[in-house]
């Protein structure tokens, strides 16, 4: 009878329901004709003996059938694979539609805004925009808690250009899950001294420091601290000077930054009536510094002879406060 539409096909073509292989006594891996989702989705027979799933064989990547032991050699097909359930297609969520769910659990890794996921991350978020922000908001009063469930673990903040693994990134800050201690390995902090005395100081002589006790972010060099970021820095001098000339009107240590002069203890040696053998100088300042600003110490003296000595045990220290 007549009908409207394209001509009807004269036959149906059904996918293969079984795949056959020949064992050679050494090969353990075979490629299936159809993808399956689990070991139980196929029935496998070797030499007429049904094989136990996940024990005698396993399926990986959907199409790779691997036997625990190589099937025996046979001139004909002695391996039969019957497809009980086959993967015939996948369904993708439309990219322009929101994914709505009241709850749920991801069993694998999740990538947002990226086509690649570093190998050791469970969650990866990236963006091609200038800024990638994570924004948390809740209505009403309350708070957001970030919990470390394992007390032997920690919460780390890392960065760097290596996006292959999280482990390869540089650690900026870590919160210890056992005691709550916060460590910042790159936080600017230094403590320097000198290997020998610096003798016969004159006015405006830069004080030398050639030995680093520590310099956590490598910001101290050539007797000078360079601020890596804009902030408030606690800078301090502690130690002693000797052979102060009593004929000087005054002597002092000066801390000089790129935008300010800070004066430490000022001494008038003349009040002693003799040249003081030693005198301790201790002072500290909270200095406002911009990124790339520098800070160094120098000796100040008005009149008198240049006979003052800086003891080798003097320390110049500093760290970023905020």
Report all structural domains of the chain as residue ranges with CATH numbers, in order of start.
18-83 (no CATH), 109-127+134-186 (no CATH), 189-320 (2.60.120.40)
What is the pLDDT of the chain when averaged over all its residues? 84
Query: What are the tokens at 63?
Result: 């199409």
Percent of the chain scoring above 90 in pLDDT:
43
Across residues 149-168, what is the average pLDDT? 75
Among 103-107, 190-194, 197-201, 313-317, the range scoring the smallest mean pLDDT is 103-107
Please report the pLDDT score of residue 22 as a whole number.
Answer: 92
List phi, psi (to 5°) of 61.
Answer: 55, 20
Torsion, Cα 18 20 26 32, to 10 degrees, reads -40
**CA–CA distances in Å: residue 163 to residues 124, 126, 156, 166:** 10, 11, 16, 7
Q: Examine the pLDDT at 134 and tell me if it is beyond 90.
A: no
Q: Given this model, what pLDDT does residue 12 score?
A: 45
The pLDDT of residue 5 is 57
Q: What are the pLDDT digits (tens) for 259-294?
A: 999 998 888 887 887 777 778 889 999 999 999 999
- pLDDT the model gives residue 176: 84
pLDDT band at residue 13, thresholds of 50, 70 and 90?
A: very low
């Amino acid at each position: 009878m007549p009908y409207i539409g394209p001509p009807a096909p004269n036959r149906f073509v059904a996918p293969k329901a079984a795949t056959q292989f020949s064992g050679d006594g050494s090969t353990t891996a075979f490629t299936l004709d159809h993808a399956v989702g689990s070991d139980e989705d196929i029935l496998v027979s070797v030499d007429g003996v049904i094989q136990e799933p996940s024990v005698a064989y396993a399926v990986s990547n959907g199409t790779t059938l691997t036997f625990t032991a190589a099937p025996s050699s046979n001139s004909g097909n002695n391996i039969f694979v019957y497809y009980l359930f086959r993967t015939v297609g996948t369904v993708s969520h439309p990219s322009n539609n929101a994914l709505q769910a009241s709850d749920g659990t991801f069993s694998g890794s999740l990538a947002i805004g990226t086509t690649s996921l570093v190998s050791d991350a469970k969650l990866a978020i990236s963006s091609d925009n200038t800024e990638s922000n994570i924004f948390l908001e809740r209505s009403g009063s309350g708070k957001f808690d970030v919990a470390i469930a394992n007390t032997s673990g920690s919460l780390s903040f890392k960065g760097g250009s290596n996006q292959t693994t999280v482990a390869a990134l540089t650690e900026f800050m870590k919160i210890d899950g056992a005691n709550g201690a916060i460590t910042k390995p790159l936080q600017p902090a230094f403590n320097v001294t000198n290997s020998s005395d610096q003798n016969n100081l004159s006015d405006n002589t830069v004080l030398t420091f050639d030995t680093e006790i520590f310099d956590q972010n490598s910001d101290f060099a050539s007797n000078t601290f360079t601020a890596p970021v804009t902030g408030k820095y606690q800078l301090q001098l502690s130690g002693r000077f000797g052979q102060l000339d009593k004929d000087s009107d005054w002597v002092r240590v000066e801390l000089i930054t790129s935008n300010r002069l800070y004066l430490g203890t000022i001494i008038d040696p003349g009040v002693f009536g003799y040249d003081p053998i030693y005198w301790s100088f201790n002072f500290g300042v909270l200095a406002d510094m911009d990124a790339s600003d520098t800070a160094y110490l120098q000796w100040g003296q008005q009149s008198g002879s240049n006979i003052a000595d800086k003891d080798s045990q003097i320390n110049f220290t500093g760290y970023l406060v905020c």
